[in-house]
Amino acid sequence: MSKPLIIVESPAKATTIKKYLKGEYEVLASAGHIKDLPEKSLAVDVDKDFKAKLRIVPAKRKIVDRLKKAAADADRVLLAPDPDREGEAIAWHIAQELSKVNNNIERILFNEITRSGVRRALESPRELNERMYESQLARRVLDRLVGYQISPLLWRKVQGRLSAGRVQSVALRLIVEREREIEAFDPREYWIVSAVLERKDAPSLTAFRAKLIKLGEKKAEVSDKEQSDTLISRLKATPFLVGDVERKDVQRFPARPFITSTLQQEASRRMRFSPARTMSVAQRLYEGMELGGRGRVGLITYMRTDSVRLSDEVLAAARSEIASRFGPQYVPPKPRIYKNKKQAQDAHEAIRPTTAELRPEEVKPFLKDDEFRLYRLIYQRFLACQMAPAVDVQTTVTVTADDAVFQASGSVEKFPGFRAIWNVDKPVRTAPDNGRSENGWAEGNEIPPGLTVGEELNLLDLLGEQNFTKPKPRFSEASLVRELEERGIGRPSTYASIVKTIQDKGYSEKREGRLRPSELGRIVNDLLVEHFSEIVDYDFTAHMEEDLDRIAEGEKGRLELLTEFYKGFKEALDKAAVDMKSMKTQAMPSGIACSLCGKEMLIRFGKNGPFLGCSGYPDCRNTSEFERDEKGKVTIRKPEEVGSCPKCGKPLLVRSGKFGRFIACSGFPDCDFKKTYTLPQQCPEEGCTGHMVEKRSRKGKRFFSCERYPDCKFSTSLKPLDQPCPQCGAPNLFLLNRRNARTAKCLRESCGYTGSVGESSSDTQIERTA
């Protein structure tokens, strides 16, 4: 007897669902998209209503054949890719192929991979949503038009292997413009004057600090040391009197439940996870984990969402868990309902645990460390958002000294509320019954109890502290995601890939957790802003996202959107092909004199990126690598010294060339000594004692091989990590792919270990210097 066929995206999800259904259904996986635009051509006919020439992905032909065979034997087919537009497109393409053998096809949505979640989905099948598919197709065509028509222009004008993207280029613009704001920022000096005070009748209590806020009727502004010293000298001789004391209870409310962007931001802030790592771990938690006797269980709901909605059933479960675990006083009178932003899609709930009963400590033995930490974060945020507010006792004291007004404020916790679970790793001070802390008000700037208006205080010290105004900080990966979200640029499913792509392409690099534009990123951004101002305009990109939403809602047509977009885009493209300057033939001034002939060094672009070359070329062939200081000024990058030349005794320097890094004598051209630059990681081949070297192929692609070539022929495109294989003891693992920099693999044929690893300093070094 034939059984219904369920098709999902991932094999892991298929395994979990199979266990729930116990043989009632056949469950297979498509392994992602089965159709896409071919890589080697534009594959969009702009003259025939932007027809997309979608083809079966060559690597998926066997999968498609297997799905067809299973569909032919099934009484009906249920398509269950992810519940978003991307998933709808996957379902649509599968239906196009399977309808040739079975017309009984329906769509089901799994918001969570649990027994009850799967059963609910099976009870509510629907037809495929053509509007959602049209919206996804419009996005795919837009991205292809921009990427495949601007990128070749950058290849011709700047250097090969560059890319432009409809959203990625806007993210790059944010990074470049922030960097230039920092470079142009002129710090202004200012001084903070503070008084360290204590009560005359209770000196045993710890002193507190009050900050100068007013002089006369004006806001206090102390601009230099002279003003600070003069003011301090004058006030030291005056009495310090309590002017006002205000104590009040202040409620602190919990944050909203997680959506994709806020999960990425909080995981970055608390655990230093990159957006890509967060999404990879969340995907595993969603698809299902083996939990011993419970079997395989999906632990969280779908993780690509911008909705903060929680169902009534879930709210009731959360309130019940809170009451039983913390007590009824931690449950607010009514469930807390959060409103979505205007542009949010409400197809799914917020990111939450699939059940409040599975506490993090119960599943910890079955999870890897990063899985447990992310699950705990999601679980805690979910319960916290439905808990009573925390209550702090906030005290504000004003102190007068002649015409100067000082202010001090402090707070202690009266009732923890949601902090009982959300701040478990960050203890907060509490207000004991006697009104004093255990350390006699020694922690922080706590205000002594019993202060009265008019009371004179002991002045222990008057301090002047020099400060300077600071520019906005550089974007971190998390703050860049937040900026994109606030501007309405991109979707939850694209944030992680956008952030990663602009780093993979060499447009920006991460230093000390912050994103800085590379010289290449600056040039590409400037060319795009000059010639494709509309494409990289923040408002235009946000409005495009809104138009894509309108297509999904049936308020706009795909052809209408693409026609409107392409008219202006084609005009800009044709004009740029003529007007865009070629960085290969033109150079930019650097403001640095050549160390050999005194002429100005110019910023030029070669196959390996930007460099400084003498304007006296070809008479003077001096070149140098360079960098920019905090003000954006070009400076010569001092090469790394690695010993002395065995031929002439001059310092050996690390240089970059067409085929990667190498070591050469600083006495070149008088001394031509050079040798291979080796990395600290050893070759993984058994019995080999050589180290890895980083090279570039004739086409400019980076790869890693053994320094003992040709005796050892090991080579790979995967980056070596400074971590041994836990399974076979090989000296190092290798990053498995570019989409997830946290998954690594052992390359010994006898092992094949694959697992999740932490970032290593060596890996970071490779990324920065490549």
In one-letter notation, the amino acid at residue 384 is A
Judge contact between 391 and 415, C-beta under 8 A.
yes
What is the model's pLDDT at position 192?
97
Residue tagged active-site, from 25, 133, 302, 507: 302
The span from the CA of 490 to the CA of 510, in Å, is 21
Closest by Cα among 441, 436, 393 to 207: 441
* Other residues' Cβ atoms within 10 Å of the Cβ of residue 24: 12
* Other residues' Cβ atoms within 10 Å of the Cβ of residue 516: 18
What is the model's pLDDT at position 556?
96
Flag whether pLDDT at 699 surpasses 90: no
The span from the CA of 243 to the CA of 402, in Å, is 11
Closest by Cα among 564, 621, 117, 207 to 399: 207
Judge contact between 753 and 728, C-beta under 8 A.
yes
Closest by Cα among 524, 514, 473, 513 to 168: 524
CA-derived radius of gyration, the chain: 31
What is the model's pLDDT at position 2?
83
Flag whether pLDDT at 496 surpasses 70: yes
What is the model's pLDDT at position 439?
29
Q: Which residues, in sequence order, are CB contacts of 108 under 8 Å at separation 6+?
A: 6, 78, 79, 80, 121, 122, 124, 125, 126
In one-letter notation, the amino acid at residue 469 is T
Count of positions (residues) in the chain? 770
Expressed in angstroms, the distance from the first to the final Cα of the chain is: 59
In one-letter notation, the amino acid at residue 681 is Q
Q: Is 140 helix (H, G, I), strand (E, B) or coil?
A: helix
Enter the tokens of residue 298: 């999906």
Strand partners, 390: 252
Q: Is 458 helix (H, G, I), strand (E, B) or coil?
A: strand
What is the model's pLDDT at position 423?
76
* Burial readout 682-702 (b: 16 or more C-beta within 10 A, e: otherwise): bbbbeebebbbbbbbeeeeee
Q: What is the pLDDT of residues 584-600, one digit of tens each?
A: 888 899 999 999 999 99
What is the model's pLDDT at position 757?
54
Give the global pTM: 0.81
In one-letter notation, the amino acid at residue 80 is A
What is the model's pLDDT at position 428?
41
Dihedral angle computed from the Cα positions of residues 182, 188, 189 and 190, in that order, rounded to the nearest 10 degrees:
-110
- Percent above pLDDT 70 for the chain: 92
Flag whether pLDDT at 605 surpasses 60: yes
Mean pLDDT for the chain?
89
H helices, E strands: number in the chain:
19, 36
If one compares 411 and 226, the residue with the highest pLDDT of the two is: 226
Q: What is the pLDDT of residues 196-220, one digit of tens each?
A: 999 988 765 678 999 999 999 999 9
DSSP letters spanning 305-345: -------HHHHHHHHHHHHHHH-GGGS-SSPPP-PPPTT--
Q: Which helix (H) or strand (E) holds 743?
A: strand 743-745
Flag whether pLDDT at 227 surpasses 60: yes
Question: Annotated catalytic, 709?
Answer: no
What is the model's pLDDT at position 431?
43
Flag whether pLDDT at 466 surpasses 80: yes
Flag whether pLDDT at 440 surpasses 70: no
The span from the CA of 275 to the CA of 481, in Å, is 8
